[in-house]
Amino acid sequence: MTSIITNNSAMAALQTLKGISSNLQDTQNAVSSGLRISKASDNAAYWSISTSMKSDDSALGAVSDALGLGAAKVDTASTAVTSAIDVVGQIKDKLVTAMEGSVDKDAVQEEIGQLQAQLQSVAQSASFNGENWVMAASGDSASVVSSFIRGTNGTVSVSTTSYAFDTGATGNVLFGSNSGTIDTASGILGTVSGSYSVFSLDISSMTTGQISSALDMVQTALNSLTSMGSKLGSISSRIDLQTSFASSLSDSIQSGVGKLV
């Protein structure tokens, strides 16, 4: 006599039912998650790859945020430099006016003094998130996170774009120290050749020859400002390119993960 417990037909039907139930559960999981592979047991190799790539995509999102912050800092500094160029240009105009022997130098100096105060205000106000890329100490530099890299051996690293405040062989910065002193400046707020800078310039008792020398110094400062603005513009362009690349790379990663899982 055949027992229902050992009934082959019943056992086959039960196995079929279990298979249908399992497949239905898998289908429900795929529908609810939108993923063909949502856990390691679905496909260990693809799950591992997709998990790592999702992590990288998240890191790229953080890089994009950091790039946005860096772009804001660069834009703030660039705006300040543009304003400083305009102010120093006006000081240059006043010096040209003062070259005329009959001009009241005290009156011209009064105008220059107002421009000098504005110049310092521009430099001190160029701060974003506590960082001032215009007023800095000699030897200082600023950096912006630019990319997230996963090496072929699985190691990860973050690269940065750096901007050195030094103005070249002098080792000085263009405006001056953010620590309250301006002795390390090169041409704008501190002392350079001679005993004056753009900020400390006073032509009240200067001879025509001394004003001519001051004019040369101011022109040098203008050239340095223009160079600084150009460098900041280059950094801004690089940040824009890297931001665009990070966005495209993130889209590619998401597309690749979608094909895997």
CB-count burial class (<10 Å; 0-12, 13-18, 19+) for 5: exposed
Domain encompassing residue 180: 61-260
Looking at residue 115, its pLDDT comes to 94
Q: Does residue 187 contact residue 220 with C-beta atoms inside 8 Å?
A: yes
Q: Residue 32: inside a domain, yes or no? A: no
Q: Residue 165: inside a domain, yes or no? A: yes
Q: Residue 22: inside a domain, yes or no? A: no
Q: Is the pLDDT of residue 183 over 70?
A: no
Q: What is the number of domains present in the chain?
A: 1
Q: Residue 150: inside a domain, yes or no? A: yes
Q: Residue 6: inside a domain, yes or no? A: no
Distance from C-alpha of 160 to C-alpha of 73, rounded to nearest angstrom:
14
Tokens 């260990």 belong to 44
Tens of pLDDT, residue by residue over 18-57, are: 666 666 665 655 555 555 676 676 678 877 878 888 888 8
Q: Does residue 122 contact residue 84 with C-beta atoms inside 8 Å?
A: yes
Q: Residue 27: inside a domain, yes or no? A: no
Helix and strand tally (H, E) in the chain? 4, 4
Tens of pLDDT, residue by residue over 59-100, are: 888 888 888 888 999 899 899 999 999 999 999 999 999 998
Tens of pLDDT, residue by residue over 111-131, are: 999 998 898 888 888 888 888
Q: Residue 47: inside a domain, yes or no? A: no
Looking at residue 123, its pLDDT comes to 84
Q: Residue 82: inside a domain, yes or no? A: yes
As a whole number, mean pLDDT of residues 233-238 equals 86
Q: The pTM is what?
A: 0.72
CATH assignment of the domain containing 235: 1.20.1330.10
